[in-house]
Every structure is written in C-alpha cells, then in structure tokens.
Structure 1
Amino acid sequence: MGVNFILQGAEEDISRIEKGTKILQEEWNVESQKKGTVFSDIKVNVSFHEGMELEIKQVNEDVEICCHEPAHFFRALNWVQKHLKDTEGKSEKRETAYFTGNGLMLDCSRNAVFTVEKVKEMIRTLAKMGLNRLLLYTEDTYEVADLPYFGAYRGRYTKEEIQEMDTYAQIFGIELIPCIQTLAHLHNVLKWPSAEEIVDTPDILQVGKEESYVFIEKLLTAVKDSFHTRRVHLGMDEAVQLGLGNYLKENGYRNSSELIKEHCTRVLEICKKLGLEPMIWSDMYITSNTGKSYYEVPEDADCSDWKKPDPELGLVYWDYYNKDESVYEKMLKVHKQLSDKIVFAGGCWIWNGIAPNYSRSFTCTKSALSACKKYKVPEVFCTAWLDNGAETPVDAILPGAALFAYLGFHQEFDEATLEEEFRDAVESSLKEFLKLDKFDRLFLGDQVNMASENPSKYLLYQDAMLGIFDYHLKNAGASEYYKMLAEELKNSAEICKNHTGFFEYYHCLAEILSQKSELGVQIKVAYDAQDLSTLRQLCEEIIPHLTEKLWKLKELREDLWMTDAKPFGYELIDLRMGGVITRLESSRRRLLKYVEGRIDKLEELETERIPYFAEGKPAIENHWQRAVSGADFTDTI
C-alpha cells in the first residue's frame, strides 16, 4: 500500500520533521509507484514533550505520535509505515527511550572513507531505528587548512562534504559529531617530513611542544568550521608510549599521568577558545593512575587521590570485550568517580577480519547496556572499527546498530522483536546477516566467539605452499564446514534484495574457503606420498577453479567498496586479494615443474608444519602481513 503522510500539529513541531518525513516517504513509495499502487492519505498528528516516552496511537486513517524528539518520531513513523496494513484500523504502541543519546560511530580512518551518499543512507537507517547520534571517526581524513599532507592520498572529506552530511543529519534529528585524534593514533600524519618537529613516538604527538598545540588548534578550527555541533571527541586513547620518544630525549622521564593531565589542560584551553565541548576516551586516565591495564581496577577502587580530568571534559568509557555485567558495573563506578560527563562506547565486532563476529558483539552489548541502564548513563554509541584495512563491508554493522537501538527502547532482549525491527529499518533479514558469524566459528561450533578467532581471514590469505596455519587444520573438517556454510548462504542474496552484492560476496568467500582452506594440507600430503597424480589434478583442476573464483571475489569486493567508499585505500585490498591469486598461479607452476620432473624437490613442502598458535590459545591472526609469509614484510631499518 502506498501512503501519503499528512502531518498535523503545532507549526514549530511540524517544521522539525517535515523534510525528513518527505525524504523517507519518497524512499518508501518507490516500489509502490513502480507497481501503480493506489495511495492512501494518513493523517499524522505529532507532538513533542520533555519525557522520554514514545507513544503511537492509530484509529482508522488517523495516527498520533507523541515523543521526545525528531529521531524518535522517525522511529515511530517507520513503524507506522511498515505495520499500518497489519493493524486492522486500530493499534497502540508504547516505548521508553533509556538514553538521551544513542547512536553509531563510523570508522573512516582504516582506509575506507565512506562516500557522502553512503553516510546519508546510513543516516536514514539510523533515523528509522530512532538513533540520534552519528560520530565520524576521522584521524586524518578531513580537510585542514594549511596542512596539505594531512590526509594526503587518503580520500579525506572536504569541508563542504562534511557540511552536506551534517545538514542532512540535522533533517532527521541526528547530531553529527566529529571524532578525531589529538595525541595518539596519528601515524599517518606523523610519517610525513613536515611533521618532524611535533613527533614524540611514530604514533604520538610530543606533549608540551608549542608546535604541537599550533597543529591541534588547526585541527580543531577545521572541526569548528565544518560541523554544526560544538561537541568534539578528541580521542587521546592508547598512547602507551607517551613521553618515551623525543620527549624523553629532550625533557627526561615524566609519569604519563602528569603528561596526559598537562596535555588535556592545553587542548581544553584551545577548545574553550573555540567554543567547543570536548570528550576523550577514558583509558589513559585510568591506566596512567593505576599503572596497570584498562580493566585491572579493584572492585572497590577509591579514586579520590587520582589525577582527574577537568570537570568540563567528558569521559568515554569504551568496552567491547566483556560478557559479564559485573565488569561494566565496576568500570562505571570508577568512571562516575572521575567525571559527571560519562558516555559509553560499545561495539559491533566487524573488525574481526573479513567476516563479522556477531556472537561476541551481541553477548557484550546486552551486558553492557544493561549496566548502563542500571547506572543511568545518559549516552551510548556503537563503534564500527575497521582494523587492518576495512576488509569487512560496512553494511555488516547493521545488526550491531539495530541492537543498540533495540536495547535503547526496550528493557529486556527479545530476539523476535529485534528481528522485526531490523526488517522494518533495514528491509533485510537479520537471520541471514547472523549466518555470517559462522565464518569464524570453525573451531568453536556453537560457542560464542569471545576470543575473536578469525580463520576465514588467514585461511584465505595464507600461502598454499607454506601452510603456516595447516597444523591446526587436522581433523577440523574445514572444507566440509565452509561447503555447508556456502550452501546456507546460497539464497541469502535473493532473500536480502537490498544487500544482494553483500551476500554474493560472502557466498563466494564461503565457496572459496571450501576448497582453499585445506589446499595446503592436500598439497603437502600428496607431496609427502609422492602422489604425482593428485598434485597434477590440483594444478590442472582445483587451482584454476580457485583462481577463477578469487577473481570473482575480488570484483565483488571492489564493487562493494566503490559503492560505499571513496576509491582511496582499495588499492591495498586489491594487493591482498591479487596476491592470493598470484601466489596460487606461482604455486601451480612450481608444482607442475616438480610433477614433470624438471625440479627434484620443493623446499617449501619439505618444511615441517608446526603450530602457529600456542596450545590452548585462541586461533586468531588479524595482521595480513603475518598471515601471508614467515618473512619480514618491511625492512629492518
């Protein structure tokens, strides 16, 4: 059924949602227009109030939506649009928003800088879920005046592009927040000769250096000029080598807790000067005070003597790792002693390798947000990191975002309701998405992948002649496992028509792994047995077929990347996947020379296969350069 929504209510209320309603209605009615469907006029009376309750009432052709803010309205309107035909003319729905801020952080710094149109698409999806925050994580992928090397060859956003996305987000009541770095995680900036005078270690700015603060002011000025919000996330996490590089040589040793306090003070002064409201990741304040790792804090920690952040500086507690609610409660108690401005950041594990780790993401998120509700944390967001080159297509984040939205409006978890909300907002099947979790549960069966094992990555990339991981494939049944997964995913692209290319990619990956995962084992067994017939068959049938499939996989990934992101950064995916194809072709030539008696042995296959992972340790390797070779990938200098 086609629908024309006619908004009614106070003029100031309608003005907040009119543009967004029109955009969503046009999107919803595309298919209806194609089919020549008759459109019905639906009157929607909207009103906003101070409370966090969201209420929808429908009687025949009239709908009433009463809610706190525009993003919540669009969640309600999406529900009305999807379920109007199911209600038999009368329905009522009530929800409560448990967080004033709830949203997503999109990583645009791991080589994939998402296009303006992709971000707009994400904004519409977040609005349908009722989320009201979108953080753009940009280490050096935004334009800064007078810094030509900042983000060079990386696809950085121009000021105009950010403003376009920002304006679009405002239409849906979503706050677009800059998430940058002003201390560590700046290796792509500091690698250029122009940055020599502000380097402490290769990844960290030198604290106390005046040139560092001139540089930071340029970054923050660019942020202020590009974004509508005055809020800014300054980063400052994981600066574990703080003060141990050029700072140490020039000034001698100082405790990192003193340095982080001094640096925060200086950066906060710049923020005040520019009228910005900053927040930072909290780990450096905790680790510098305890001298231990982030989570090694006593249950009854007394933080009264700790060096604390300025009261105007927000602390973002990030935690994607723990399944026990008690850990989150312990950490929230510590954070509440440090600051009155706490934000929680969880995560959807799409940085596991090539496939998402939904089992860990769902397990951790349910515990984390339960604790956040208990401790009345006002804001939460779901991070979508893309470590090691953005190999996982970004749409894999959708189940994680949907879970954050769902738990933001529901006290308890109900799988069926989440599946319905996912279908309403994403127009795809959550069950099909969750099948992707199986890519990395080869050694785990039905267990939650809490250690983030990722065999789908290293078994794709490993060299068939070296067999670095082959020791661990004994009795694993990898080929049969991935063959069954390929069968499970065979119809996913048809079921999820809005994500056809996405599921074609993963179906192709499963097909490849069904052959390539044990190719090295097959080669070694045949070589040791001097089974020349099998080696010839591998050369003439299996490897050519695999190579053909890999070309298809590479093209599918390229299409996804070029649809979602700017072209910069894809060259590294091209090199990785192209490397697999090239090495298979080289391996085939080597094997044929042996089979034909032109060489008398293959040294690679004479080498004993030894364990890569220590006994009892998780089977995880997320560094591509380690998975493809035992040799050094870079120079020793």
Structure 2
Amino acid sequence: MGVNFILQGAEANISRIKKGTEILQEEWNKTEQKAGDVFSDVRVTVKFHEGMELEVKRMKADVEIDCHEPAHFFRGLNWVLNHLEKAEGESEKKEKAYFAGNGLMLDCSRNAVFTVEKVKAMIRILAKLGLNRLLLYTEDTYEVPELPYFGVYRGRYSREEIREIDEYAQIFGIELIPCIQTLAHLHNALKWSEAQKIMDTPDILQVGKEETYEFIEKLLTAVKDSFHTRKIHLGMDEAVQLGLGNYLKENGYKNSSELIKEHCARVLEICRKLGLEPMIWSDMYITSNTGKSYYEVPENADCSDWKKPAPELGLVYWDYYNADTKIYEKMLNVHKQLSDKIVFAGGCWIWNGIAPNYSRSFTCTKAALTTCKKYEVPEVFCTAWLDNGAETPVDAILPGAALFAHLGFHEEFDEAALEDEFQDAVGSSLKEFLKLDKFDQLFLGDQANMKSENPSKYLLYQDALLGIFDYHLKDAGVSEYYKKLAEELKNSAEICKNHAKFFGYYHCLAEVLAQKADLGSEIKAAYDAHDLSTLSRICEEIIPHLTENLWKLKELREDLWMADAKPFGYELIDLRMGGVITRLDSTRRRLHSYVEGKISRLEELETERIQYFAEGEPAIENHWQRAVSGADFTDTI
C-alpha cells in the first residue's frame, strides 16, 4: 500500500511544496515496501512562519508541519514518511534551524563532473535533511559560449543542464549557487594558447589587464544566464604567486594586498553591472594583510588598518582542519572586523585519497559549527573537495552533509539522532559508512585521523619492485589489518542495499590491499635471501590472483564513476588503476627472468628501502605521481 499525501492549508503555501512532495512520495512508494503498516492517505497541513522553528505533529493520518521555508518542510515531511506506522499513534517533533543558510558544495572541477541525474538525487537527499543550499564548484566546467576552449574535453555543464538542475533544486526550496574562479585555480583554462595573454602565472589571471576583465565578464555573463540566483561565489583563494609572473615582468613588484583589492574592485564593478551578489574565499584578504599563512593570525588581532573588501562582498571563511574552538573564535573575530557578510565553509574529508576521513570531518565540524552558532554566523556549508582526481566516490560525502544538517537543527550533537536522520534521508546505515575510516587508520589504532594519513592510497599505487613506502611497513601487520577490514565490510553491501555497489567497491579494495600492501616487502625479503622458490610462487600464484582482483576493483570503480559522473576524467582513474596492473605484470616478468637465470640481478630490489616520511611526520602522500615512482612524471621545463 503506497502513501498518498493530501496537502491542506493556504493555496500559496501548498504551491511552494506541492511538486516536491509528489516527487518524494513517488520515490518512497517505489523503494519502500510497508504494505499494511502505514496509512494510504495522509492529510498534511502546512504553515510557514517567520521564525526558524520546525514543528511536526501527527495524530494518526493527520499531520501538521509548521516551519520557516520549503526546505525545512521537506525535512519534516521526510520524518513523517519514515514514522507512519499506525502503532505510533500521536507523535511530535520540534527543532530549530540555527543557520538561515546550510548546505553542500559539490566539487565538479577535479575531473568528475556529476551527471544531472546524480545531482538531482543529491538534491532529494539534501531536501530530506532540510538543507537549503547547493553550490556547484566549477572552475572551468561550465559552458561559456564565446570561449570554446573553456572546459573542453572536461565534461563541462551546458547552460541547459545547469538550468535543469536549478529548476529541480527550486522545487525543494534549495538555492543552487555558482561557485567559480575569477583569479586563481584556473590552470586548466589557462593552458590553452588563447588564454596566454591574460595569464600571470600558469594558475593565476593577470590583474590590471583589460583583456582579463573582458574574459571575466564573459564568465559572469554565462553564469548569470544559467542560474536563477543572483548570488555568486567568485573564488579568488590561494593566489599565492599573485603578481609574481607576467605581472612582475611588465609592471614591477606590487604588494599582493593592493593587487587583490584592485582586482576585487574591477570584478565587483562587473558584478554590479550584471546585478550579481558576490562572495569570495577570505584567505587572500587575510594572508595579504598579515604576510603569513591563513590561520597564523595573532590572538585578538586588530584589523582596523587592514585593506578590507567592499561592503557588498561576502567573505567565506573556510576551515576543515582545526579541532580547537579557540581557533574558530579567533578567525571569526577577524572576519567580523572585515565584513558584515560572513559565510562559513567546513568540509567532509573525501579528498583524503581513496577513502574518506570521517574522524577528522566529525571532529572539526562539531568544533566549527558549535562556534558558528555562538557567533551567530548566518550561513554555513559543507565542502566536498575531490583533490587529485576524484578518486573517492561522491556518495562518501553523505555522512558529512548529514552532520551539517544535524548540527544545523540541534543545539548539541546527538549520535543516536544522527544515525536515525541518516537512515531516514539516505536509506543506509551510518555505522557502515563510518567503517570506511579504517582504511587510513592503519598506523593510528582508534585515534582520530587528524593529520589525514592515507596509506590506502599510496599502498594501492606503490610499485612492488621499488617499495617506496615499504620502510614504514615493518611489523605493521598490514595484510592482516586489511583482511580484518575486508571481513568487517563483507556484509555492508547487503545492509546498505541503496549503496550496494559503493560498498562492493570498498570491500574489494580491502581485499586488494590485504594482498598487495606487503607484496613489495615479501619480494624484497625473498630476493635478499635468494629464495627462488618464494619468488616463483609470487610469480605463478600471488601476482596473478592479485591482478584478477585489481581488474575487478577497476571495473567496480568504473561502474560507480559512470553512474555518478560524466565519462570525462575517468580516463585518468583508468590509467592509474591500469598502471598498477601493468606494473604488476612487468614485475612478474622481471622476477620470472631472474628465477630462470636469464638475468643475474634486479637493481630495483638491491636499492635500500629508506624512510619516505620523516620521523614524527604524518604518513600522508596524496599525490599519485609521487606514490608511483621516484622519477619525474613531468618534464622540468
């Protein structure tokens, strides 16, 4: 028996949530089988008010949802959907939204540009969580009609695709906000010959050039034509070499604080012309004033003499690193001196490599949002960066998004409540997702991974003959560790049927690491002992079996990618995983030649295994090109 919502209340209120209700009702009726347990007709009275309280009351088949806006209504409706059992009788839910804006930023610039259908699926989950913002981070992955090379071969969104996503988001009261770049992080756009005249350094636009602002106006015009909102995130972060390339050659040295102010003024002029409401990442305004790194701000800093942004320019304070609320307090004090329009951006660590780092995500997010509430920051969002090629499947973001929603509607963190909210919105077990943390806790035991160690990545990719990281595996019990993790993940796909392929991939990854992580050490030990029997067994049994599992792993990752994202960019994942297989095949042939006496020595195995990570340094290497070889991957010129 399917559920059927009968909406009641003022016609203007019903019109705001009718289509979204129908979509969620249809989705529920397709996926849930609770015949005989729920009412078929449920009368829902909706009321909107100025306050931020969300109140849901249910008496059998009659429901009242009193809330601030449509996104909050859908959070209440989702709770109703998941608590329809007749036995419950009367029930009530009361919450308060602590942030006027709360949402998610999807990174669509690190090779994975998510399909329209995937983004729509994410929008439905955000609606169920009560989130009302979705930012699309697109450096060059959106269509600019006058710039044919902008985002070419990258799977850029067409204007029609963005409009389709935008219209869908509006159905659920979610504001789709463009998040682009207008200063740095533009290496993919600047690599083409047509862009050389506006380049300062390979990653940064040249400030002051008229051609630069003609280029930026084309970008902003394209965005305005695609998105419904007038809000726009202009980027402008991490331009650490600002003014030190072609600008320096042509104009001489100028302080970066002056350059950023000059550039902002010009870009703001274009925004005013187009009727856009801009915000930027705040780091350049802080680092250019202090001459130090972003978080190296003195306690109780006095910013009265700093160069400050224009009043209409919002500042986005980004921080995914700190567990100490005092750091957030210090940084927010600085931001409040610089701007009246502050937004906070935290993050879910899915850019750690192959697997997510939930322990750091949860630790930092709880500290950050507690402080944001104290300082009454009006808007927050959770970033989903995908550094170094989008290796982590995007569904790994879901616990982070759910945590932002949970802390957005609860004064304090409640683990049991979060687990229920996650299950209701995502349809899978939060506990199963959090098991993925163990991929990178190899050397940490039960400690939170606050330094973002990522052995699952570099042990997957490292070359078995070179053994670059093998020094650090002595007595670590790596194979047994990942065998145990594979056993823990054995039933996750069955438990989380909505994410069966996702967990199937991670279960296979654990099995591969159990076979591969110690392989280089085993080969080296056998070679040093001149144990030809073991080397022969590695050639004939271990490597072929491992290769078979790697093919399976690669195919599982490809299936996930093609279900989530456009095909562009997957070729690099294919090359990386295919490279592991190819190198293992070469390793097998090299070992076989040595065992048969065709060659007298293997120079790779005679090289001493030395420390990769310095004493006390965290075991992290998130650059694939460094993990696979000691040689240069690109030319020095």
* TM-score bucket of the superposed structures, by smaller chain: over 0.9
1:210 correspondence with 2:210: yes
TM-superposed deviation, 1:85: 1.0
Question: What secondary structure sits across from 2:452 in the alignment?
Answer: coil
Question: What secondary structure sits across from 1:236 in the alignment?
Answer: coil
TM-superposed deviation, 1:88: 2.1
Q: What residue number does 2:468 align with?
A: 468
In 2, the alpha carbon distance for the partners of 1:209 and 1:320 equals: 34
In 1, the alpha carbon distance for the partners of 2:88 and 2:167 equals: 38
Question: What secondary structure sits across from 2:458 in the alignment?
Answer: helix
Q: How does 1:124-523 map to 2 (within 5 A)?
A: 124-523=124-523
Conserved in 2, the CA contact under 8 Å of 1:48 and 1:68? yes
Conserved in 1, the CA contact under 8 Å of 2:482 and 2:513? yes
In 2, the alpha carbon distance for the partners of 1:473 and 1:67 equals: 55
Conserved in 2, the CA contact under 8 Å of 1:105 and 1:135? yes
1:592 correspondence with 2:592: yes
In 2, the alpha carbon distance for the partners of 1:180 and 1:97 equals: 28
Conserved in 1, the CA contact under 8 Å of 2:235 and 2:280? yes
In 2, the alpha carbon distance for the partners of 1:297 and 1:372 equals: 18
**Deviation string, structure 1 residues 491-532 (Cα, Å, up to 9, x no partner):** 000000000100000000000000100000000000000011
Question: What secondary structure sits across from 1:2 in the alignment?
Answer: coil
Question: What secondary structure sits across from 1:387 in the alignment?
Answer: coil
In 2, the alpha carbon distance for the partners of 1:216 and 1:31 equals: 45
Question: What secondary structure sits across from 1:456 in the alignment?
Answer: helix
Q: What residue number does 1:538 align with?
A: 538
Letter in 1 for 2:559: D
**Deviation string, structure 1 residues 196-238 (Cα, Å, up to 9, x no partner):** 1000000000000000000000000000000000000000000
Conserved in 2, the CA contact under 8 Å of 1:280 and 1:314? yes
Q: What residue number does 1:12 align with?
A: 12
Q: What residue number does 1:70 align with?
A: 70
TM-superposed deviation, 1:635: 1.1
Conserved in 2, the CA contact under 8 Å of 1:2 and 1:37? no
Question: What secondary structure sits across from 2:85 in the alignment?
Answer: helix
TM-superposed deviation, 1:60: 1.8
In 2, the alpha carbon distance for the partners of 1:563 and 1:61 equals: 38
Q: What residue number does 2:565 align with?
A: 565
User: CA 1:200 to 1:86, structure 2 compared with 1: closer, same or farther past 3 Å?
Assistant: farther
In 2, the alpha carbon distance for the partners of 1:51 and 1:243 equals: 47
TM-superposed deviation, 1:39: 5.7
TM-superposed deviation, 1:572: 0.2
In 1, the alpha carbon distance for the partners of 2:227 and 2:33 equals: 36
Conserved in 1, the CA contact under 8 Å of 2:543 and 2:584? yes
Letter in 2 for 1:40: S
Conserved in 1, the CA contact under 8 Å of 2:38 and 2:85? no
In 2, the alpha carbon distance for the partners of 1:83 and 1:330 equals: 42
In 2, the alpha carbon distance for the partners of 1:87 and 1:81 equals: 14
Question: What secondary structure sits across from 2:614 in the alignment?
Answer: coil
Question: What secondary structure sits across from 2:445 in the alignment?
Answer: coil
Question: What secondary structure sits across from 2:500 in the alignment?
Answer: helix
Conserved in 1, the CA contact under 8 Å of 2:55 and 2:66? yes
Q: What residue number does 1:97 align with?
A: 97
TM-score normalised by the chain length of structure 1: 0.99
TM-superposed deviation, 1:189: 0.3
In 1, the alpha carbon distance for the partners of 2:239 and 2:453 equals: 26
In 2, the alpha carbon distance for the partners of 1:219 and 1:34 equals: 49
TM-superposed deviation, 1:414: 1.1
Extract unaligned runs of 5+ from structure 2.
none
TM-superposed deviation, 1:157: 0.2
In 1, the alpha carbon distance for the partners of 2:624 and 2:26 equals: 43
TM-superposed deviation, 1:440: 0.3
Aligned residue pairs: how many? 637
Identity %: 84
Question: What secondary structure sits across from 1:389 in the alignment?
Answer: coil
In 2, the alpha carbon distance for the partners of 1:200 and 1:604 equals: 42
User: CA 1:241 to 1:255, structure 2 compared with 1: closer, same or farther past 3 Å?
Assistant: same
**Deviation string, structure 1 residues 572-595 (Cα, Å, up to 9, x no partner):** 000000000000000000001111
**Deviation string, structure 1 residues 270-315 (Cα, Å, up to 9, x no partner):** 0000000000000000000000000011111000000000000000
Question: What secondary structure sits across from 2:47 in the alignment?
Answer: strand
In 2, the alpha carbon distance for the partners of 1:313 and 1:173 equals: 24
In 1, the alpha carbon distance for the partners of 2:356 and 2:543 equals: 27
Question: What secondary structure sits across from 1:170 in the alignment?
Answer: helix
Question: What secondary structure sits across from 1:408 in the alignment?
Answer: helix
User: CA 1:531 to 1:253, structure 2 compared with 1: closer, same or farther past 3 Å?
Assistant: same
Question: What secondary structure sits across from 1:29 in the alignment?
Answer: helix
Conserved in 2, the CA contact under 8 Å of 1:231 and 1:276? yes
- Please tell me the root mean square deviation across aligned C-alpha atoms, in Å: 1.1
TM-superposed deviation, 1:32: 5.0
In 2, the alpha carbon distance for the partners of 1:156 and 1:401 equals: 24
Q: What residue number does 1:27 align with?
A: 27
Conserved in 1, the CA contact under 8 Å of 2:505 and 2:553? yes
Q: What residue number does 1:623 align with?
A: 623
In 2, the alpha carbon distance for the partners of 1:6 and 1:591 equals: 71
**Deviation string, structure 1 residues 65-99 (Cα, Å, up to 9, x no partner):** 00000000000000001012176220111000000
